[in-house]
Structure 1
Amino acid sequence: MKTLLLALGLATALSAPVLAQEKLKIGATVYGLNAEFMQIWTAALQKHPAVQSGEVEVTVFDGRYDALVQQEQFNTMITQKYNAIIFVPMDIEAGAAPVQAAVDAGIPVVGSNARVNSDVLTSYVGSNDVEAGELEAKAVLDKMGCKGNVVIIEGPIGQSGQIQRLEGNQKALAACPDVKVLEQQTGNWSRAEAQTLMENWLTSHPGQINGVIGQNDEMALGAIEAIKAAGLNVSDFAIAGVDGVTDAINAVKAGEMASILQDANAQAQGALDIAIKAVKPDYQPQSAIWKQYPSMGWEDGKAKTYLVPWTPVTTANADELLKSRQ
């Protein structure tokens, strides 16, 4: 009998630390993985020290640019009792219901990169998209000397990046009343869709387009492809995008466009640190991004918003940024 009690006591003693060290299961649903920016964001999650050490297991779900797909992914994570969820929503409004469902099930949700209209998020880790829209539009307008005609290629209608960057675009345009917007349409963050739009606009407005405001780099790059395919000189246009993807950095080096870096690594790893903190109250952040951007301030992981600063891409820092991708 003593032997049995001893064995039971030993088993209990051994099980306690095993339970305490149980690997956290965190899911991330992102709006889509077709383009480089979200691929960089996803890779950054897997490179987080807590994932590398085995403390956390991260599963990334491809939302396939569909809010309903993301809602189903939330249902899966709720059913499978994930410890926390990181959300990069396709739609600012449609994303609110699944967030509420997860929180009602006791699962904390951290927003990253794109916003959702919900006040039950644990926190949001991203960048100021109004500022980005104003910066990119100003780069285009400065090159144009505040005169001429522009086209605006928007992100997916209803996503926070499209809404907020357009607000920034319009702020910059308001300072240049002599500039006319000839066309404004969504390219859905897609290089191919933007190329088709630009091809059509070059035909509809021959010799009239002076500037292109692409709300992300992929779409600005699509416009550049259309300009080249039409046999026109890219340097005759003022073009800007947002994100600092690899091809855009090279295009900045070539003098073809302007861009600002949206730090996917900082957004993803910051969101994961916050998600772990929401599950483990004594957790201290492990990502180096908090030292890289001291202005963000860890604030014990309890701030509602963490904004990663924008970095203009220039010919001076382009090679350094490219090296960080290797």
Structure 2
Amino acid sequence: MKKTLIAMLATSALTAPAVAQDVPQIGAAVYGLNAEFMQIWSAALEEHPAVQEGLVDITIFDGRYDALVQQEQFETMITQEFDAIIFVPIDIEAGATAVEAASEAGIPVVGSNTRVNSDLLHSYVGSDDVRSGYMLARYVLDQIGCEGNVVILEGPIGQSAQISRLEGNMQALAECPDVNILEQQTANWSRAEAQTLMENWLTSHDGEIDGVIGQNDEMALGAIEAIRAAGLSVDDFAVAGIDGITDALVAVQGGDMASILQDARAQAQGALDVALAAVKDDYEPMSDIWTSYTDMPWNAGADAEYSVPWTPVNDENVEALLATRQ
């Protein structure tokens, strides 16, 4: 039978669950489960056919947006001799220590969604955040005609998505020298933090902000809430985000913002297939994501990196995407 645990914090060793000897035990250490995107990612992991059929035992750890918590959770998984670990790190540098410890214990680590600066990673299944950062900013810049003023809402400083998406943002902004960055600050992927920042910026830059580059949907939605709370029209701003979470899909449908879908299901299920291939001989992938993305071949699960494509959300696909959230 499948056994799933959401571990909030491992300050002491957890009691190892009893599992059949021939069933691999794989842990998923994710940076945090407060926001919808990682909830979608985690749910997709639990919906993987191998999990549903009881062929693997999955433990999901909530890292609570804290690198130290994630390090402690790795120590727990090492102590309990997990067969493999799927890692979604909060910090690109700090996470390397955890990967090194697992590698020394002979436990393969498969990265997913966010990156860690380590050459000991077994493989990585995620998406090109530089590309999404460029696409995000380019949309906003096109909407404002490559002129005017923008603000940038960044992810947690030091996380790979923040670093890479900002790089992509700057590539796009370099193509529009007449656009000024009025403000640039982290809102930690949080809708509430982004709303507070945007409220302050609307006051300090009254009538000056033309575009909002939100490095994720939660922050873009927070900016929209601030705009409405100030009695302003969202139509007067170009707002965009990344992830394709449910509220963002609704906002795209309503014409309030743009979004780029990050396929959490493909990232999570792809990472589990790769992790299983690392611990089981002659494993064939069980998720259908490998047939959905024909330009991402399986290659026996042996590639160092698997890049899941981005999908811009538009009028043609938004209803179908919303239908998947029912």
Tell me if TM exceeds 0.5.
yes
* Equivalent residues in 2 for 1:1-326, closer than 5 Å: 22-326=22-326
Distance, in Å, in 1 between the alignment partners of 2:190 and 2:311 is 22
Shift, 1:34, TM fit: 0.3
What is the Cα deviation at residue 106 of structure 1? 0.7
- Aligned residue type for 1:149: N
Aligned-partner Cα distance in 2 for 1:293–1:235: 35
* TM-score of the aligned structures, taking structure 2 as reference length: 0.93
**Aligned equivalents of 2:281, 2:103: Cα separation in 1:** 17
| Separation of aligned partners in 2, 1:175 and 1:281 | 49
Is the radius of gyration larger for structure 1 or structure 2?
1
CA distance in 2 between counterparts of 1:26 and 1:294 reads: 27
State the alpha-carbon separation in 1 of the partners of residues 23 and 301 from structure 2.
Answer: 20
**Quick one: which amino acid aligns to residue 87 of structure 1?**
F
SS of the aligned residue for 1:242 comes to strand
Distance 2:144 2:59 in 1: 45
Q: Could you give the per-residue CA deviations for residues 28-65 of structure 1, whole angstroms, max 9, x where no partner exists? A: 01000000000000000100000000000111000000
Where is the helix percentage greater, Structure 1 or Structure 2?
1
Deviation at 1:325, TM superposition (A): 1.5
1:123 maps to amino acid: S
Which whole-Å CA distance do the structure 2 matches of 1:119 and 1:47 have between them? 30
What is the one-letter code of the residue matched to 2:292?
Answer: Q
3-state SS of the aligned residue for 2:243? coil
- 2:16 matched to which residue of 1? none
Which amino acid is the alignment partner of residue 141 of structure 1? L
Shift, 1:315, TM fit? 1.5
* Aligned amino acid, residue 276 of structure 1: L
CA distance, structure 2, for counterparts of residue 186 and residue 313 of structure 1:
24
Unpaired runs of 5+ residues, structure 2, are 1-18
- How far has the Cα of 1:20 moved from its partner? 9.4
Q: CA RMSD in A?
A: 1.0
* Residues in 2 aligned to 1:253 and 1:20: alpha-carbon distance in whole angstroms: 47
- Kindly provide the amino acid, as one letter, of the partner of residue 100 in structure 1: E
- Could you tell me the percent identity over the aligned residues? 71
Q: Which runs of 5+ in 1 are unaligned?
A: 1-18
How far apart, in 1, do the equivalents of 2:104 and 2:299 lie?
25
Partner Cα separation in structure 2 for residue 139 and residue 20 of structure 1: 51
Deviation at 1:281, TM superposition (A): 2.5
CA distance in 2 between counterparts of 1:141 and 1:300 reads: 41
Query: Secondary structure at the residue paired with 1:152?
Result: strand
Distance 2:217 2:176 in 1: 23
CA distance in 2, matches of 1:285, 1:21: 21
Alpha-carbon displacement from aligned partner over 1:106-164 (angstroms, at most 9, x marks no partner): 10000000000000111000000000000010000000000000000000000000000
Structure 1 segments of 4+ aligned residues over 6 angstroms from their partners: none
- Structure-2 residue corresponding to 1:11: none
Looking at structure 2, the residues matched to 48 and 24 of structure 1 have their Cα atoms a distance apart, in angstroms, of: 14
Shift of 1:306: 0.3
Distance 2:20 2:153 in 1: 50
- Look up the equivalent residue of 1:211 and give its one-letter code: G
Question: Offset at 1:166?
Answer: 0.1
Q: Which residue of 2 aligns with 1:13?
A: none
